Structure 1
Amino acid sequence: MEAFLVSTGVVALGEMGDKTQLLAMLLAARFRKPWPIIAGIFVATIANHAAAGAVGGWVAQALGPDVLRWVIGLGFLAMAAWMLIPDKIDGDEVLKQPARWGVFGTTFIAFFLAEMGDKTQIATVALAARYPDLLAVVLGTTLGMMISNVPAVFLGDAIARRVKMALVHGIAALIFAVLGVLTLFNVGRFF
C-alpha cells in the first residue's frame, strides 16, 4: 500500500505545471471533448508507466541493494532539484496538427511521446526500482497523473490562474528530497 500511496502522491504533485498537464489543457481547448482526451491520457500513461516500471524493476535487480540505494537516493534528490524548474510546451505545434487519429488517438500519441524522459516517467522508474510491487507503483503513478490531468482537461485556465505552481513545485521538490535522504540513509523498509 505504501508503494501505491507514495507513487500517487509524488506524481500528482510532480505533474502540477508539468508539460503534460499543459498539453492536457491545450488538447481540451482544441478539441472540447473531455472524455476521449481523458481516455487517451489514461491509456498512454498506463503504457508509458508500465514500461518505465519494468525498467525500474530491471535496474533494481541489475544493481544490487547497496548501489541501488545510492542511485535511487541521488535520483530522488536530482528530481527534487528538477521539480523547481517549470516546464513549458510549444502549444502552437499541437494546435496546428490535424487530428488524423481522432481525439483519443491524438491524445494517446501526444501524451505517450510527451512522457518520454519526463519527470514523472523518471520518477516512475525510480519508484519501481525502490518498491518491489510494480503493479502498485504503476497504478499509483497513473492515478497521480489522472488526479493532476483530469481537472486540467475540465477546468484548464481557471486552475492555472488560481494555483501557485511555484508552491506546488516546492512541495513536490520537498517530498522528493525527503525520499532521497531517507533512501540514502536507509531509513525504513526501503531495501
Structure 2
Amino acid sequence: MEALFTSITAVAIAEIGDKTQLLALLLACKFRKPVPIILGIIIATLLNHAAAAWFGSLVQQWLSPEVLRWLLGLSFIAMAIWVLIPDKIDEEDSKMLKYGPFLASLVLFFIAEIGDKTQVATVILAAKYESLVMVITGTTIGMCLANVPVVLLGKLGVEKLPMTLIHRLTALLFFALGLTTILF
C-alpha cells in the first residue's frame, strides 16, 4: 500500500502545472467533450507508465541494493529541482487536435509523457517498490487526480492556483523522498 499511496501523492502533486496538465486544459477548451478526453488520458497514462515501471524494475535488477538506494535518492532530489522549472505546451502538440478528442488526447498525452517528470518519477518509484501494479495504478490515479478536474472545469479554477507554492511543495516532497531513500 505504501507504493500505491506514495505513487498517487508524488505524481498528483508533481503533475500540477506540468505540461500534460496544460495539455488537458487545451483539450478541454478545444473539444468541450470531457469523457473522450479523460479516457484518452487514462489509456495513454496506463501505457506510458507501464513501460516506465517496467524499465524501473529492470534498473532495480541490474544494480546492487546500495547503488540503487543512492541512485534513487539522488534521482528524487534531481526531480525536486526539475519540478521547479515550469513547463510550456509545444506548438507541435496543437497540430494533433484535428483528430478528435479521444485520439488527440491519447496520442498527445502518450507523447507528452515521454521523458516528462511524472514518467521519470514512475521509473524511480518502480525501481524503489517491488509492486509494479501498485506503482502503475498509483501513478495513473495521480495523473487523473491532477488532470480530470482540469478537463471538467476547463479554465475556471486552474488559472487561480498558486503555482509557485505548488511547485515548491512538490519539490519539497521529492527532496524528502530522496533524503529518506538515502538515509533509510
TM class, shorter-length: over 0.9
Partner of 1:129: 127
For the 8 Å contact 1:59–1:129, the answer to whether it is kept is yes
State which of 145, 149, 157 in structure 2 corresponds to 1:147.
Answer: 145
Superposed CA offset, 1:23-76 (max 9, x none): 000011111111000000000000000000000000000012011001100000
Deviation of the 1:96 alpha carbon? 4.5
Which aligned pairs between 1:38-187 and structure 2 lie closer than 5 A? 38-90=38-90, 92-97=91-96, 99-100=98-99, 102-185=100-183, 187=184
Would you say how many aligned residue pairs link Structure 1 and Structure 2? 184
**SS of residue matched to 1:162:** coil
Distance in 2 (CA, whole Å) between partners of 1:104 and 1:118 is 21
Distance in 1 (CA, whole Å) between partners of 2:16 and 2:86 is 10
**SS of residue matched to 1:88:** coil
Deviation of the 1:143 alpha carbon? 0.1
**SS of residue matched to 1:99:** helix
Partner of 1:25: 25
For the 8 Å contact 1:30–1:95, the answer to whether it is kept is no
Distance in 2 (CA, whole Å) between partners of 1:173 and 1:138 is 21
Superposed CA offset, 1:70-113 (max 9, x none): 110000000000111111113x444444523x321111000000
**SS of residue matched to 2:111:** helix
What is the percentage of aligned positions where both structures have the same residue?
A: 54
Partner of 1:14: 14
Deviation of the 1:17 alpha carbon? 0.3
> Which stretches of structure 1, 4 residues or longer, exceed 4 Å deviation after superposition?
none
Distance in 1 (CA, whole Å) between partners of 2:18 and 2:6 is 19
CA RMSD across the alignment: 1.1
**SS of residue matched to 1:132:** coil
For the 8 Å contact 2:96–2:108, the answer to whether it is kept is no
Distance in 2 (CA, whole Å) between partners of 1:138 and 1:97 is 26
Distance in 2 (CA, whole Å) between partners of 1:74 and 1:95 is 35
TM-score, scaled relative to structure 2: 0.96
Structure 2 unaligned segments of length 5 or more: list them. Answer: none
**SS of residue matched to 2:87:** coil
For the 8 Å contact 1:48–1:112, the answer to whether it is kept is yes
In structure 1, give the amino acid aligned to 2:125: L
Partner of 1:5: 5
Deviation of the 1:155 alpha carbon? 1.5
CA pair 98-4 structure 1, distance change in 2 beyond 3 A: closer
TM-score, scaled relative to structure 1: 0.93
Partner of 2:34: 34
Please identify, of 61-70 and 141-150, the stretch whose mean Cα deviation from structure 2 is larger.
61-70
